[in-house]
Amino acid sequence: MRRFNYSLFAKLFYRYANIPASILLIFYTIPSLAEIYQNRLYAIPVLINILIFVLLNRFYIKSYRTFPFSIEADNEKMICTDYFFSDKKIEVRYENIENITGGLFSGNTSRPLYIHYSPTNEVIGIHAHLKNYDKLVTIILSNVKQHLYNEILEKTKALRTDNKSKRDKKKSGVTGL
């Protein structure tokens, strides 16, 4: 079994970065709330800060449930552990993976990769900042069912041709207007 972990900085960021950001948003929201009674325009920054606060913390709560910080993989299965505030341990057999979305399969490599595991209806997320991320993706793709591999390959090829045609249009100066 091969172990894949995040670096210390990535682990700290994906676990705790919402705390100082949330505190700053609260500090910016409180004075605006106090000034709403003087001028109604202060409601705009209050609403924006609340929206950012909710979206940020919703992302982190989702990531606490779906992103393991330690993954062990071989040619049969993947064992996901070290979830935030949880002793959860998920064993993923490659033949039971029903879909893989996000990440490079969505055309944006900065997005997380999501593995949809059918027996338990779990979704396992993997950020691209995982050490040896490419090797883990290679292990996963080489062991999933053939039809899923072909489906993912077709989607990736379609995204590549779409992106290439967009780049070609930009180079030639053609716009959609």
In tens, the pLDDT along 64-104 reads: 989 999 999 999 999 999 988 888 899 999 999 999 988 88
> Does the structure show a pLDDT above 70 at 122?
yes
Confidence of residue 120 (pLDDT cuts 50, 70, 90): confident
Beta-carbon count within 10 A of 157 CB: 10
| Dist. CA 152–CA 157, nearest whole Å | 9
Kindly list the strands in the beta sheet with 90-93, ordered across the sheet, starting from the edge strand earlier in the chain.
2-5, 70-73, 77-81, 90-93
CA nearest neighbour of 93 among 126, 114, 115:
115
Q: Which pTM was predicted?
A: 0.78
- Of residues 173 and 39, more confidence is placed in 39
Give percent above pLDDT 70 in the chain: 91
Q: Are strands 113-117 and 122-126 parallel, antiparallel or unpaired?
A: antiparallel
